[in-house]
Structure 1
Amino acid sequence: MNTDKTQSQAVSSGWQYQWQLFLVALAFFTRIPIPKETPFTTERLNHANRYFGVIGIVVGLLISSVYLVSSILLPASVAIALAMISGLLITGAFHEDGLADVFDGFGGGWTVESKLNIMKDSRLGTYGAAALFMGLGIKWVTLIELAKLNPLLPAYAFIVVHSLSRVAAASLIFSYPYVRADQDSKVKPLANQQTRSDLQILLGTAIITLLVLPWPIAIMLAIITLLVRQGCGYWFQRQLGGYTGDCLGATQQLAEIAGYLTLLAIATHYHF
């Protein structure tokens, strides 16, 4: 009897800990409020990366809801714009900021130190503004084209691609060293020791997400996302010798764009 009770308490405690890790990830990557009593430590943030793909699903579902409701009364182009705006508000443009900072740093810096210093600067430069403008623009146009083929496609795309792109970004933590001139960076705790369970849950989320798609499309989307992930990792390694928090944000954005383009290319030639 006592043994059963102890095991039950252990399972309950385990699920509670996982729920708290999810809430930490939710608070870190979105503006969605969580209970104030949720315990937060750098160790919990370190292991919360396992749920970054799940956060993508949550964000994707919220954005899709805005799109579907808006499309009832408004043209698809406006509904998509409103959905994208809602995404920026939900995440606080967290990843878009990383994209802009990376292009500013890599475009304007000549040494690793100068690139890191530029990326740390809160001001937006020409390279970053151009990357941000073109990134948002190509997402909007691609999603409009998807809506023309099937009004429901953008809703599916939001959910699947937001999840996969975050898995791609978070997975870089397991493969490359963290580099940062500013040791107080808020992303630094994520660079500490990762466990096999963290990676398994992260990749498991991607696999589950892909199951909603026909297998040929799922395979193609997985390959493209992996290629973007590998390309970004190689790019960051060459430029900095590793990654920063901004690099993770840039990877998410580039993988998101690539995901939408992949789905559009497939949908243009094959009905699904």
Structure 2
Amino acid sequence: MRKLWIALTFLTRIPLPQPTNVTSEEFTLSQHYYPLVGLIVGGVLWASLTLLLPFYPPLITAALVLILELILTGGIHLDGFMDSMDGLLSARPPERMLEIMKDSHVGAFGALGAIAYLLLKFTLLVELCSLGSASALFLVLFMPIIARWIFLIGVYFFPYAREKGLGKGFHESSRNTKWVFFGQGLLLLLLTYYFLHWSGIAGFVLATLGILFFTCKVSRLLGGLTGDLYGASIELSELFFLLGAFPFIT
């Protein structure tokens, strides 16, 4: 339970007391609980949709759920996405891109990227709310779970771009636990098919391939990944999952 507690306080802003004396080993092993953190976030979002839809139209419900997700995560993944867009879209040399991404200030590319991302995600949520079927709402439950597994592709299989940083130790100490990653992926794939059938499989495949392409391209450009890019991968995974699943939802 302590490792789940560490994972929850790291990936969310759920008001829990901060664990003390966390070792590097505990922090690394807590990543095995990231999909479970996604289940908690997804469960809150799914329950909110179920409760709100009888009283509010899809536009308002989708807006409230999107805001709720930002509150639950504290926007930390979106912050990483914005920092990543500032660097990647700057058309500067790789070294300068990394410097821009490290800057805590949000630039024009980060702001525009966030607007485009949130607009598309909001639109997808509105359409899912409009469908109102159990399968459509289950997509919102599975979206955070799968995203918090898929982003670990970058942690396990791609180098870290900086000499220092939280993500570097996270990456290097994760090499011996790949079997857990593959086992969780197989379990998630089976559960996704059981609850969502082919729409879930389509979302799972598009999200996986999309993050593989993103991480490959960025790692080749920058010589590795960073913590900001891990956050961007979570956000993109959620979007790719919804985009892949939506055409097949019943």
> TM-score of the superposition, structure 2-length normalised?
0.90
Amino acid at match of 1:176: F
CA positional deviation for 1:85: 0.5
Taking the aligned partners of 2:185 and 2:149, their CA distance within structure 1 comes to 7
Larger Rg: 1
Unaligned 5+ segments in structure 2 are none
> Does 1:186 pair with 2:166?
yes
Aligned counterpart in structure 2 of residue 226 of structure 1, from 196, 208, 228 = 208
Taking the aligned partners of 2:178 and 2:246, their CA distance within structure 1 comes to 34
| Partners of 2:189 and 2:201 within 8 A in 1 | no
Query: Would the alpha carbon gap of residues 156 and 37 (structure 1) be closer, same or farther in structure 2, given more than 3 Å must change?
Result: same
CA positional deviation for 1:25: 0.8
Taking the aligned partners of 2:50 and 2:34, their CA distance within structure 1 comes to 24
Aligned counterpart in structure 2 of residue 241 of structure 1, from 223, 227, 232 = 223
CA positional deviation for 1:214: 4.4
Aligned counterpart in structure 1 of residue 10 of structure 2, from 7, 15, 28 = 28
Amino acid at match of 2:168: K
* Aligned pairs, number: 248
> Does 1:124 pair with 2:106?
yes
* Greater shift in the superposed pair: 202-211 or 63-72: 202-211
Aligned alpha-carbon RMSD (Å) = 2.0
* Greater shift in the superposed pair: 81-90 or 58-67: 58-67
SS at match of 1:31: coil
| Partners of 2:199 and 2:246 within 8 A in 1 | no
> TM-score of the superposition, structure 1-length normalised?
0.83
Query: Would the alpha carbon gap of residues 67 and 216 (structure 1) be closer, same or farther in structure 2, given more than 3 Å must change?
Result: closer
Q: 1:167 — aligned with what?
A: 149
Query: Would the alpha carbon gap of residues 20 and 110 (structure 1) be closer, same or farther in structure 2, given more than 3 Å must change?
Result: same
Taking the aligned partners of 1:37 and 1:248, their CA distance within structure 2 comes to 23
Aligned counterpart in structure 2 of residue 60 of structure 1, from 42, 49, 54 = 42
SS at match of 2:92: coil
Residue deviations 1:105-129 (CA, integer Å, cap 9, x gap): 0112522221111111111111111
> Does 1:138 pair with 2:120?
yes
| Partners of 2:207 and 2:240 within 8 A in 1 | yes
Unaligned 5+ segments in structure 1 are 1-18
> Does 1:203 pair with 2:185?
yes
Taking the aligned partners of 1:23 and 1:89, their CA distance within structure 2 comes to 18
